[in-house]
Each structure stands twice: as structure tokens, then as C-alpha cells.
Amino acid sequence: MSRQRSRDSVRQSLRSFLALIGLCLSALGSTACAQPGEAPGGTTAFVGVNVIPMDRERVLENQVVIVRDGRIVSVEPAAAAQVPADARRIDAAGRWLMPGLAEMHGHVPGPEDPGYAEDVLFLYVANGVTTVRSMAGHPGLLALRERIAGGDLLGPTLHAASPWLSAEAAATPEAARAIVRQHRQSGYDLIKIGSLPRDAYGAMAEEAHAIGLPFGGHIPQDVGLVGALEARQASIDHFDRYVEFMVPQDRIPAGQEPGFFGSGWVGLIDEGRIADAVARTVAAGTWNVPTLSLVEHLASSEPGEAMIRRPEMRYMPRRVLDGWAQAKREFQASATFQPEAARALVDLRRRLLHALHEAGAPIALGSDAPQFFNVPGFSIHHEMGMMAAAGLSPYAVLESGTRNPARYFGTPDAFGTVAPGRRADLILLEANPLEDLDNVQRRVGVMVRGRWLPEAEIQARLEQIARDAAAS
């Protein structure tokens, strides 16, 4: 099978379940739900809470955190703090308050079915995901971004990537320049890189830098890791092209394809080149969004039919689940899938993540929901578990989802830490997440842009989403 054909077959599988998702959207009809939670205005006080500020690894015990009009206004020791008389008090003694999380490689469905898109937005928030960098955008995403920002719709703060930039959309340097300007005009926050010719990529990069629009995502095959780092690509997602970089020129096998994310070449790498890849990444300052979860779901030998029986799958429409199971079945039956190589790939990616982290390369949390068994919000907990299994401390994992994304966007003071002036995106927990990342799931409630959602309200709407999904 040619390299192009094997890449195409993976894309075909992806397309086939994307198409199924599309079918599902049109079949569902509109099922807009009432928004739980209160309006973001007014004052809220978390009283007696242990704060995990995420500015560095520490806990501030027994604090009062005051939120007003969607922002944190003060963080003070309880003994010294004044709780305003008109504040809603949340008794948080013995509980833990951390910043909301970011899904840095997420997706939000298109406008074909507003009910499904709104459910996806809620699934993120229900899990404490209060910021989403939504990759592979569409015009409907821009409208959702504005409605959320305006308080008209409950959801995470959205950063909207452009539609996937493909060879068809940008075949020549001129076309690439034009489309970058057009996406800027439309209001996208990022150019999402897919596959495009090397010279078009170069022109795209030049134009994007000239107008101050970042670009990230995949790396075109002809550009490679070195080319993307030299072009100052803002983020590399899925560790794309790292394996190919690690295979020395003289080991590249004639007629053997790299396969999905380099799995076909994983046995050919020069281990010494891991350090080289890491050093080059650190020098370039390029961010990585590993999406371990996406690739580990692809690489696992578990049947898709078993995977769609995991508890959180009940929140996804039936057709989406069937699409995932079918895509997994087709993938496992394809020549691209070699179980042993897939296991080696997972191991290599975990080692790469650990090495990048140890060397100080910037890492941001992302799982690629809702793609391939990644249920929005719920998948972030799996991703964090996989990062911990790669050897990152709980603090380092939480940093990748809080403080680091704020740094990635160039707005370190906007969100991602608990401090005065920050957007009031917060998760209140029963136990300390620095001791065990599973504690991020022991929620008391979530605050998104100052709107407080107690866990009972979250569960009530989750049940409604599950009922709608079962009936779909």
C-alpha cells in the first residue's frame, strides 16, 4: 500500500465516522434544554476553602475567594477576609478550589443540530473544562464563541480554529496567502493545519506571521518536524511527525509506510534522536498538545463494541457510538494496524512526553473530543491519567490544563490560575487533586465565567442528555 494510500485509508475511516456524526446531527432534531445555573452577575464567596492557585506547586489553606461579575476579585486568608453582606456564600471548608481546565484540542459540532452542539458544550463544562481550543472550525463556531462570551449560552470559553487547511483549499502559495487573510477576516483565532504542499505551507506561515495569526495542528508530510519548528508553528498536535524525525535517513525502508502517527516505522527509530527532537522543540518554543488518548484509543486492541460500553458513553448519541465502533472495526481490520507496533508507539509517545516535560518544553492538555471514543470533558480525565502514567506529576499534569493554556494564548493573567483579576473559571472539589488526579472528578461544583453550577444541577442535566441520547 502506498504511503499516500495508507494515509488516505486512515482519513477515510475518520471521514466515515465524521459522516455518521453528520447523519446523527440531522436525525436528532433540535432538543435545546433549559440552561441550569444562575446568571453570572452578582457576588459569590467560597468560604474556608483550600486554594490550589497553580502559580506554583502550593496550597493556600482556609481562604475566602470572592468572585464578582465573572471575575475573581480577592483571595485572602479566612481570618482576614470580609465576606460582603450581599454575597452568596458557598461553605467550602475542607474543600479544594482549583482553576477550570482547558481542552486544547477539542471540537464543537456544527450548526446542523444546535441541541447536540449545546450538549457537547455542557459535557465539557460538567467536567470542569471551562476553555476549549476548538480545532477544525466552521462558521457556526464563531457564532457560538460570541454567544458564550456574551453570556447568552452556557459553555466553555471558545478559541476558534479555522476550517482544516488542506491541499485542496491551499494548493499554491498564492492560495495559501489568500486563505490566511480570509480566515483572519472571518474572525478565526488560529489556522488549523492539515495537509498542504511544502511551498504553500511556507507562504501560509509567512502570511500568518505577518498578520499575527497563529497556526497549529498537524504537520504536512513534506514539511516534517524540522520544517514546522523552523516555521514557528504555534502548536504540534498528536505528536505528529515525531516518529518520522526519529528514523535516520538510511533506515527509511523502501515501500514501508509510516502508518498512523508513525506506527509503521516505530521499530526503526534511533533512540538517540528522541533527545534531538526534544532539544529542537525546546529551542523553537513550540507547544505540544499530545492527545495521548486519541492515539491510545486507535492503538488499543480492545474491540470498539467494548469501548462504547464505558460509563460516559451514555451521553453520546447512538449513531456517534456506532460510528466510532465501526471506524475501530475497520481500522483493526486494515493493514495499517499492527498490534505490536501500536503498543510500541504508545510506549514511545509516553517516553517522548516525559522527555519533553523534563526538558521544559511547553505542553498543553488535549484529548481530541468528541473524536474516537473521547466523550467531551470525560476524556480529559483519561488524558490526565495517561500523562501521569507517562511519569508526569499531578501538578505537572494540572499545569498543562490550567496555567499553561493561558500562557499559550499569551494571556497568562486572564485565566488558568486562582488570583484576583482572573476569569472566574473554577472547580470545587471534595479532595486534593495534587495528591491524586482522580480527585478532579470528585466535584462539588463548577464555576464558569462566574456562573455557579452545583453538582446536583450538573447531574440533572447529564441525566437529561443521557435520556435524549438513549432515545436518539
CB of 368 to Zn ion, least distance (A): 4
- Give the DSSP H/E element, type plus range, for residue 214: none
The CB-of-385 to Zn ion minimum distance in angstroms stands at 20
Q: Around 422, how many Cα atoms within 13 Å sit in the side-chain half-sphere?
A: 27
Question: Which residues, in sequence order, are CB contacts of 12 under 8 Å at separation 6+?
Answer: none
Q: How far is CA 137 from CA 106, 192, 205, 295, in A?
A: 10, 8, 19, 21
DSSP letter assigned to residue 315: G
Q: Which residue has the cell 484509543?
A: 297
- Per the CB < 8 A criterion, the answer to whether 324 and 373 are in contact is yes
Least Cβ distance, residue 192 to Zn ion (angstroms): 9
For Zn ion, give the closer residue by CB, 378 or 452.
Answer: 378
d(CA 321, CA 308): 6
* Rounded-to-integer distance, Cα 295 and Cα 292, Å: 5
The CA-based diameter of the chain, rounded to the nearest angstrom, is: 74
Closest approach, Cβ 85 to Zn ion, in A, equals: 48
In whole angstroms, the minimum distance from the beta carbon of 350 to Zn ion comes to 20
Nearest residue (CB) to Zn ion, 244 versus 368 = 368
Nearest approach, Cβ of residue 143 and Zn ion (Å): 20
Least distance (Å) from Zn ion to the CB of residue 184?
22
Decide whether 47 or 135 has the Cβ nearer to Zn ion. Answer: 135
CA-CA distance, 161 to 191, in Å (whole number)? 6
Other Cβ atoms less than 10 A from the Cβ of 126: the count is 25
Question: How far apart are CB 407 and Zn ion at their closest, in Å?
Answer: 22
Q: Which CB atom, from 135 or from 144, has the smaller least distance to Zn ion?
A: 135
Q: Between 105 and 422, name the residue whose CB sits nearer to Zn ion.
A: 105
Helix (H) or strand (E) holding 460: helix 455-471
- Separation CA 119–CA 155 (nearest Å): 9
CB of 106 to Zn ion, least distance (A): 8
| DSSP classification of residue 47 | E
- Stretch (H or E) spanning 388: helix 378-389
Nearer residue to Zn ion within complex by CB, 135 or 440: 135
Minimum distance of Zn ion from residue 291's CB (angstroms): 7
Q: Tell me whether strands 215-217 and 235-237 are parallel, antiparallel or unpaired.
A: parallel
Give the nearer residue to Zn ion in terms of CB position, either 63 or 374: 374
Considering beta carbons, is residue 263 or 371 the nearer one to Zn ion?
371
Q: Tell me the C-alpha distance between 169 and 37, whole Å.
A: 42
- Give the residue with the Cβ less far from Zn ion, 207 or 368: 368
Question: Which residue has its beta carbon closest to Zn ion?
Answer: 368
Positions that interact with Zn ion (CB under 5 A): 135, 368
Whole-angstrom distance, CA of residue 211 vs CA of residue 31: 40
Helices (H) and strands (E) in the chain, counts: 16, 15
Q: Is the bond preceding 370 in cis, omega lying within 30 degrees of 0? A: yes
- Which residues on adjacent β-strands are paired with residue 429? 96, 443
Cβ closest to Zn ion, residue 368 vs residue 399:
368
Shortest Å, Cβ 257 to Zn ion: 22
Residue 245 · residue 261 · CB < 8 Å: no
CB closer to Zn ion out of 135 and 353: 135
Single-letter code of the amino acid located at 154: L
